[in-house]
Amino acid sequence: MKTIVKTITAAFLILAACSSFALADTEISPTVTLGYSMEPEVLMPGDTGTITITMQKNAYIANAAVEGNEVIEILGESYTDVGLVGPGDTLELTFNIKAKDDAPNGVHFLDLEITGGSTAYDFNSRIPVKIDDRDLKLIISDLPSTLINEVSSVNVEVVNQRPNEVNSVIVSPEAEGIVFSPSEVFIGAIPGGNKSTATFFLNTMNSGSETSNVSFTVSYFNGDNFHNAGKATRQVDIIDQNSLIFTSIEMEKSSNKYTFSGDLNNFGTTDAKNVIVSIPKSESVVPVQPYAKYFIGTLEADDFSSFELSARVLSGEVSSIPVLIEFRDPDNAYISIEENIDIDGQRAFAGNSEEDSGSSVALWAVAGIFAIAIVALIGYSWKKRKDEGEAVGDEDVELSGE
């Protein structure tokens, strides 16, 4: 509470002719120092407030009262038989006041009336009370007109246009089809003529294509008086488009095993943290090593990262393989997206499981062995006929010699 100090020093002179102290050796001059403060410092129309009157030094006070006017009402009664304010003592008197609902802006004066004791003069003073109807203002500084399925952020500036400090300032968001985090932001006190910023995360991951009105409201206290400053609203269009998308997909197929490689792009406006891509296990699709899961890490906005995944397809009816994208948003909330990668019509045969693949390999091995055996047999037969032909030739030579 900022104190407005006004000091009035009143000298209560003793009338020598009628004073009981006229014949005393020492003449006494009662004095009083007066100050006051307001809470809140500036009222709004309809507000209640408190004026605190402070008295010091040496005087006897019989009565004290504040008179209202056509703009300000005095709540409660005046003080009677206040008593002596001795040297070094301090006396505080409080008066509750209320500005009328139609009170105009400006400074309005209240009359303070103090009645002194038998040896003191009465005196009056005017207490200024300021009324100002200016409110708080909300400025939505960076909310785009179009949103996609992502977690984005928005900053809301709260401007205190009043000349005095306000307290317990709270900003609350509202919109159809959007989840906000946090649900409200507590700012606290904002001095007069200053501003503060409230930051919200907007989750539109599960929103369809629609138009939504995004609104923010602010509430606060001016002294003990609660106020709502109204709404600030912006219209946004939501597009059914995920923020993380695949590009440059390449595929290799070996029997019923598929290996994918490509890039994961962050099309959104905020960073995605702890990004993991994986193939969910099902009756028709089974992830296989070495790339059943792929950890990417932090994927900044407008950036990309490469990945590789492998899966075995167990059904000829499968035309695409689902890929699960998991990450944490800037507020550390868990988010998941599922995308499908088309296998380009290269269907795997039903029942072509890993065991069937192993059997096929075994059959090819047996066939290879048989082929080798046949080649060896043919080679052996050819060599045997050649040896027999050479032996017959030698016999003919010997017979001819004889």
Residues 296 and 393 in one domain: no
In the predicted model, what is the mean pLDDT of residues 363-378?
60
Q: What is the pLDDT of residue 159?
A: 97
| Tokens read off for 17 | 């002719």
Q: CATH code at 150?
A: 2.60.40.10
Which three-class secondary structure state does DSSP give residue 397? helix
Is 369 a residue whose pLDDT tops 70? Answer: no
Instruction: Tell me if residue 4 falls in helix, strand or coil.
Output: coil
12, 127: one domain: yes
pLDDT at 194: 97
Total-model pTM = 0.72
- For residue range 260-291, list pLDDT tens digits in order: 899 999 999 899 999 999 999 998 899 998 88
Q: What is the pLDDT of residue 117?
A: 67
**Partners of residue 129 on adjacent β-strands:** 108
In terms of domains, do 248 and 273 share one? yes
348 in a domain, yes or no?
Answer: no
Percent of the chain residues past pLDDT 90, beyond the cut: 52
- What is the span of the domain harbouring residue 156? 136-241
Tokens 């088309």 found at = 342
- In the chain, what percentage of residues exceed pLDDT 70? 76
- The string of DSSP codes covering 190-205 is E-TT-EEEEEEEEE-T
Number of domains the chain contains: 4
| Structural domain includes residue 2 | no
One domain for residues 332 and 381: no
Residue 123: per-residue pLDDT: 72
pLDDT of residue 347: 43
* Domain final position from 223, 241, 259: 241
pLDDT in tens, 9-38: 333 333 333 333 333 344 445 566 778 899
Domain end among 131, 146, 169:
131
Give the pLDDT of residue 385: 63
Question: Dihedral of the CA atoms 391, 397, 399, 400 (nearest 10)?
Answer: 160
So what's the pLDDT on residue 380? Answer: 64
Tens of pLDDT, residues 107-162: 999 999 888 766 556 778 899 999 999 999 999 988 999 999 999 999 999 999 99
On the question of pLDDT at 365 being above 70, the answer is no
- Which is higher by pLDDT, 141 or 213? 213
Half-sphere exposure of 147 (CA within 13 A, CB side): 30
Task: State pLDDT tens for residues 313-355.
Answer: 988 888 889 999 999 988 888 999 999 988 865 444 333 434 4
Rounded average pLDDT over 193-211: 93
Q: For residues 37 and 6, is the Cβ–Cβ distance under 8 A?
A: no
Least confident of 113-127, 177-191, 382-396: 382-396
Last residue of a domain, one of 342, 372, 392: 342
pLDDT of residue 28: 45
